[in-house]
Structure 1
Amino acid sequence: MTDQAFVTLATNDSYVKGALVLASSLRQYNTKNKLVVLVTPQVSDSMRKILKKVYDDVRMVNVLDSGDSAHLALMKRPELGITLTKIHCWTLSEYTKCVFMDADTMVLCNIDELFEREELSAAPDPGWPDCFNSGVFVYKPSVETYNQLLKHAAEKGSFDGGDQGLLNSFFSSWATRDINKHLPFVYNLSSISIYSYLPAFKAFGANAKVVHFLGKAKPWNYTYDSKTKCTKSDLNDETVVHPEFLNLWWDLYTTRIIPLLTEEGVVKESTALQVEEIKEAVLQMSVSNSPQSVSSEERKERWEQGQVDYMGEDSYDNIKKKLDSYLQ
């Protein structure tokens, strides 16, 4: 449909990774609708170039910030003020209807049926079900609505300092007026809520259509081991994410996004996978080249304990030669 679109927002290069996976998941399940991404000036030129290969429309927008440090402090998420930039999505007036999806979401099947819903349709928030979660919602672009939202933000602010508080305040009748605007939770399954109500997830989780990686730790904040299919958070965050969904995200990232990043010469940091493989290769080469008096198991154990022979076999020059050889 040329007049309907899935819309997301990327405010920096990290969130571009999420936006790329989101688009890939929508394409994977053959959506018939346009894909639009709003980007701020903080997104690099190289990443914008990659976005243009995946999205039908890459639209630059200005940053809106609530500056509401008091309310954001309650959530311990001061970075969320910039999420007000999301309301730029109402300016996409060339589209008759849109579905906004946060860049930390991923679809698990075709969800084009959402375009049959009316504004503002959204799923309940797991933290306060009388509020909707603004990670996925159906809306109708309108410059008039955009201006009203700006006015509302200026006059009344947001009760959480971010877009969710603003939108729930503006669309205040969502909780009580029309149950048809309440999307089933499977359209915005919070990855962290799985563990707060595990029995429900076991009963209904197989019907999930969209997974939302809520919380501070995002999929791209994890290190992924391609051999064990295990992930480990790079942040000091205890948030638990269902490994099945996290692995699905990384499968898309490694198979569909890394080739794009590599093709464009984006920093190799983009794949923690490669880093882990290189580290393992260097270790194995060092083990294989070690004196016969030391077994490979003992050599590896010494490495893992930090007992490295810096003056001998494990000197900087030797490691550099081995690493160069591996990369070649």
Structure 2
Amino acid sequence: MSNLGFSSLLLLMITLFSFGGAALVSRNSEEAYVTLLYGDEFLLGVRVLGKSIRDTGSTKDMVALVSDGVSNYAKKLLQADGWIVNTISLLENPNQVRPKRFWGVYTKLKIFNMTNYKKVVYLVADTIVVKSIEDLFKCRKFCANLKHSERLNSGVMVVEPSAELFNDMMTKVTTLHSYTGGDQGFLNSYYSDFANAHLFEPDASPDDLKSRPVPQMERLSTLYNADVGLYMLANKWMVDEEELRVIHYTLGPLKPWDWWTSWLVKPVDVWQDVRIKLEETLPGTGGGKNPNDKLLVISLFLLPVLFLVFCYYRSFLQTRSLFDHIRHLYYMLRSGGVSYSSVTSSNISSNPQFPNLAYSKVPIFLGAMSVVVCFTAAMVSLVLSLAIVPRQLMPWTGFLLVYEWTFTIFFLLVGSYLHVVHRWGKLVANQSVSLSQHPESIQYDSGKGTYIARHTELTILVIFEWQCYS
């Protein structure tokens, strides 16, 4: 009897252990939220999406289908956030004419083959859930949002997985036309009559649903796929903002995780509010931070400051010694004022050694060239700063770093230009004084009636100084 009791207890423990271990890698519910991740660039988007789903109170599975391009660290982080991570192979895009970024988008069709779930709600990584969307699981067969009057958008979809349906799609991927060159165009061709589908009614009673034939597809309202691009056109939502369920950040170069987007697109504030609430499931990941960026951000902040201090210190020592500066400051404070000395223009003009040569030697194009150099330096500084600063920082951090680096690079470029102009001006001035003091250096050619100055020597000196500075 005791042996039977021990065997039963052992069997129970094995069963519980097996169930607990499987819960980390297999499904816990018959319905799930699904997203796709092709690389680490969209990792933060998936993390925020998962947080927004959990904030609505949902306990359904969250499944991330990841390709080989996703790092092991990203997979580990998603699992720590509560995602079930399934590694999948990419489906080849059969379209020869397509954007490069669409090379693996046909992989999205694999959600139609997730037969271990009765129903899945697919959400692309650049969406965020702002209100519970559990009612989407009432949608039957296939549901999506209609965009641009007659085209469905594949960013939010409800799917009843079926191996038969998936296999039928696979037989038609090479024959059905895709107007986008990607999965969305294919789905529009596959569900060619989608524009005529009835609107999904989540509040319909069970009796009403039973009295109607089961539809093959249904249209989701804008509330379930609110397009930020359309918001930007009207500068407002075309539906009641309080009723929004899902916001879709469709603007290509303005993804919500890029720090500059928060300054340009108002609805990104909603995304950032969820981001800062991300828990530190792995060390250094709280608030959506990347632990690898921490040292880089500190370095980017300190380098310009140290460089400017070094430049000022170098300039400080070149003018006088440190002791001279201290002594000058002491006498200035002791005397209670600052003495100034000036040189009037009349003294210069009255000197026969400077017959307005300073004015005659200034090139007429110097002003226009300086304006062009300044504008070019400003543009180059901004572009280089945007390239240096990581994209997925917090908005204020990114803004301050770009401002700091833009100023530093602009200071370097314009300072270099002014230094070259200064050197060139000194050479021209010295040469002019030399010519005025030694008139025999100017030769008169009676045959041609022209004066030949020593421009060749001056040019050589300028080139030499330029090379020394460079």
TM-score, normalised with respect to structure 2: 0.53
Assess if the C-alpha contact under 8 Å between 1:40 and 1:63 holds in 2: yes
The residue number in structure 1 matching 2:59 is 32
Q: How far does residue 157 in structure 1 lie from its aligned partner after superposition?
A: 4.3
2:84 maps to 1:57: yes
5+ residue gaps, structure 1, are 225-229, 233-240, 294-298, 311-328
The residue number in structure 2 matching 1:165 is 185
Assess if the C-alpha contact under 8 Å between 2:34 and 2:63 holds in 1: yes
Compared with structure 1, are the counterparts of its residues 281 and 206 closer, same or farther at alpha carbon in structure 2 (3 Å cutoff)? farther
Residue-by-residue CA offset, 1:104-133 (whole Å, 9 max, x unaligned): 1111121111111112111112xx221211
Worse-superposed segment, 166-175 or 154-163 = 154-163
2:121 maps to 1:99: yes
Assess if the C-alpha contact under 8 Å between 1:17 and 1:220 holds in 2: no
Read off the aligned partner of 2:252 and give its amino acid letter.
Answer: K
Worse-superposed segment, 177-186 or 132-141 = 177-186
5+ residue gaps, structure 2, are 1-27, 201-217, 317-403, 416-470
Distance (whole Å) between structure 2 residues aligned to residue 59 and residue 300 of structure 1: 41
Assess if the C-alpha contact under 8 Å between 1:11 and 1:43 holds in 2: yes
Counterpart secondary structure, 1:256: coil
Distance (whole Å) between structure 2 residues aligned to residue 163 and residue 261 of structure 1: 37
TM-score, normalised with respect to structure 1: 0.73
Compared with structure 1, are the counterparts of its residues 275 and 205 closer, same or farther at alpha carbon in structure 2 (3 Å cutoff)? farther
Distance (whole Å) between structure 2 residues aligned to residue 27 and residue 183 of structure 1: 22
2:226 maps to 1:206: no
**Aligned residue pair count:** 280
Task: Work out which of the residue numbers 148, 151, 154 in structure 1 matches 2:171.
Answer: 151
Compared with structure 1, are the counterparts of its residues 261 and 18 closer, same or farther at alpha carbon in structure 2 (3 Å cutoff)? farther
Assess if the C-alpha contact under 8 Å between 1:97 and 1:138 holds in 2: yes
The residue number in structure 1 matching 2:230 is 193
2:265 maps to 1:242: yes
Residue-by-residue CA offset, 1:131-176 (whole Å, 9 max, x unaligned): 2110001110111111111111123242321111111211222211
Higher helix share: 2
2:50 maps to 1:18: no
Compared with structure 1, are the counterparts of its residues 276 and 193 closer, same or farther at alpha carbon in structure 2 (3 Å cutoff)? farther
Give the structure, 1 or 2, with the largest relative contact order (CA under 8 Å, sep 6 or more). 1
Compared with structure 1, are the counterparts of its residues 279 and 167 closer, same or farther at alpha carbon in structure 2 (3 Å cutoff)? same
Assess if the C-alpha contact under 8 Å between 2:94 and 2:173 holds in 1: no
Counterpart secondary structure, 1:103: coil
Q: How far does residue 287 in structure 1 lie from its aligned partner after superposition?
A: 7.5
Distance (whole Å) between structure 2 residues aligned to residue 105 and residue 25 of structure 1: 10
Q: How far does residue 92 in structure 1 lie from its aligned partner after superposition?
A: 1.4
Assess if the C-alpha contact under 8 Å between 2:199 and 2:221 holds in 1: no
Query: Computing the radius of gyration over CA atoms, which structure comes out larger, 1 or 2?
Result: 2
Assess if the C-alpha contact under 8 Å between 1:219 and 1:249 holds in 2: no
2:151 maps to 1:124: no
Assess if the C-alpha contact under 8 Å between 2:52 and 2:130 holds in 1: yes
Q: How far does residue 258 in structure 1 lie from its aligned partner after superposition?
A: 6.6
The residue number in structure 1 matching 2:253 is 217
The residue number in structure 2 matching 1:177 is 197
Q: How far does residue 83 in structure 1 lie from its aligned partner after superposition?
A: 1.0
Equivalent runs, 1:224-239 vs 2, <5 Å = 231=262
Read off the aligned partner of 1:219 and give its amino acid letter.
Answer: K
Q: Aligned Cα RMSD in Å?
A: 3.4
2:103 maps to 1:81: yes
Compared with structure 1, are the counterparts of its residues 301 and 102 closer, same or farther at alpha carbon in structure 2 (3 Å cutoff)? closer
